[in-house]
Amino acid sequence: MGEAFKPGCRPPVAVNKAETDEKPVLQAQENANASERRETMVKVGKPAPDFTLNAFHKGEFKQYSLSEFKGKWVLLCFYPGDFTFV
């Protein structure tokens, strides 16, 4: 449970002209799918949609998916990314 990974900053990826020409098409596709995304919003009393996130657990960074905890009680607590603890 939880896949370890090495965190860190990565240099920006070079973008060629062909990729930048496709951005309007990608944006249009994202806008077309916006209504589908709204349907997966969290609703009180309903199961949460599956998601994957990075977490710091037991001294190392790991990647977790909500589906790993299916059938178990889960408490999710989100706080600012600057590691200011709640």
User: What is residue 85's predicted lDDT score, i.e. its pLDDT?
Assistant: 60
Residue 79 has pLDDT above 60, yes or no: yes
Please state the pTM of the whole predicted model: 0.43
User: What is residue 56's predicted lDDT score, i.e. its pLDDT?
Assistant: 83
pLDDT tens digits, 28-74 = 556 555 555 555 677 788 888 888 888 888 888 889 999 999 999 88
Contacts of 86 (CB under 8 A, 6+ apart): 77, 79
User: What is residue 67's predicted lDDT score, i.e. its pLDDT?
Assistant: 92
Contact status, residue 52 vs residue 43, Cβ threshold 8 Å: no
